[in-house]
Structure 1
């Protein structure tokens, strides 16, 4: 008996990620995955386990790649203001990237689910809340360091930044042009700059035109 043809598991996972990203968890059937991966359902189950297991692994791939922009901004930028600026602009770039599904996979893949899929919905909600917490933590650090004013409501500002990114995801999926999304980011950064402590060393942030501003 001939042995089954070997397949590229990494490539199959990328295809599954894009299918879930484009159609969501419930909107992607096993038949869709068979078509996207080019594998029989039995081989998909053998390689990845259940549909939910495959989805969780696909989300992990997204968060390590396209969706890692928030973690990179928080880790690499020297100030909270620059980190927020970068994550918002990188969000727009990610959500409108040619050749990729529009929007954020973690935001749009399972916002509403049937009761039997509540576990998936709750899992994604936990991941979104965890990301918000990392943003809030960075803002708290900025207050302690004197970058942001002492009266800054870090919880509210973290929720605001997260809500904007979620809104950018929805707008991108609706086809709102990249330039309009970037304009929303500029409006948010006006508010962010209002929180900078005037006694702290100036924080230089490039605006949309490329010029530098505080």
Structure 2
């Protein structure tokens, strides 16, 4: 018996990835409809029928980025056993993505709507929310470190999180400007070396026999 309905004429997942990389490379406003259809391998009618508007497609592309190329931050904060290790893994994992020659440089969340016209302010606001959410996730990880005794109770976790988020966003811009991975790594080395001066030494130390 023949299947009902009309089969899709394209691979939706592959098309979405093409859109993600196009937005990542050229930014929201810099990406034209013709750029998207070329990258996705579909016509404009299929784009609108399957993804809705350009903004809806962009938001879906950002979500895909967050679970693929942009997953280093969340993975580091979930998997590393110490807060210091999580911050270092976050920075190193991200610069590997930022400077990967197989993908656009830098971070899509930082760069794709860094400058938007008034009519696209909601897009810029959406990415700002994404960045704030990532900083909040880092704050939660640092608060957990305080609860577990890795960090002292007087550590200003918001300030520490803001500092490392600023470093991370700066590394994204540096990568887009063509700074090589080796130099990005040297910046990470220096940022991680500042850990003790940022968090102090108030954490409980194990007693010596």
Q: TM-score, normalised by structure 1?
A: 0.89
SS in 2 for 1:66: coil
Match of residue 15, structure 1, among 7, 18, 32: 18
Q: Partners in 2 of 1:40 and 1:127 — Cα distance?
A: 30
CA RMSD of aligned residues (A): 1.6
Q: Partners in 1 of 2:110 and 2:204 — Cα distance?
A: 38
Q: Partners in 1 of 2:156 and 2:134 — Cα distance?
A: 17
**Given that residues 96 and 178 in structure 1 are in contact (C-alpha distance below 8 angstroms), is that contact kept between their aligned partners in structure 2?**
yes
Match of residue 79, structure 1, among 75, 82, 107: 82
The structure-2 alpha-carbon separation of the partners of 1:5 and 1:129, relative to structure 1 and needing over 3 Å to count, comes to closer
**Given that residues 81 and 193 in structure 1 are in contact (C-alpha distance below 8 angstroms), is that contact kept between their aligned partners in structure 2?**
no
Map of 2:66 onto structure 1 = 63
1:25 equivalenced with 2:21 (yes/no): no
Map of 2:139 onto structure 1 = 136
Aligned residue pair count? 199
Q: Partners in 2 of 1:199 and 1:5 — Cα distance?
A: 60
SS in 1 for 2:165: helix
Deviates more, 1:65-74 or 1:138-147: 138-147
1:98 equivalenced with 2:101 (yes/no): yes
Deviates more, 1:78-87 or 1:133-142: 133-142
Map of 2:39 onto structure 1 = 36
Q: Deviations over 1:42-61 (max 9, x none)?
A: 11111111000110000000
Shift of 1:146: 1.6
**Given that residues 146 and 197 in structure 1 are in contact (C-alpha distance below 8 angstroms), is that contact kept between their aligned partners in structure 2?**
no
**Given that residues 23 and 31 in structure 2 are in contact (C-alpha distance below 8 angstroms), is that contact kept between their aligned partners in structure 1?**
yes
The structure-2 alpha-carbon separation of the partners of 1:142 and 1:5, relative to structure 1 and needing over 3 Å to count, comes to closer
Q: Partners in 1 of 2:155 and 2:190 — Cα distance?
A: 18
Moved over 6 A (4+): none
Deviates more, 1:103-112 or 1:29-38: 29-38
Q: Partners in 2 of 1:74 and 1:4 — Cα distance?
A: 41
1:186 equivalenced with 2:173 (yes/no): no
Map of 1:164 onto structure 2 = 167
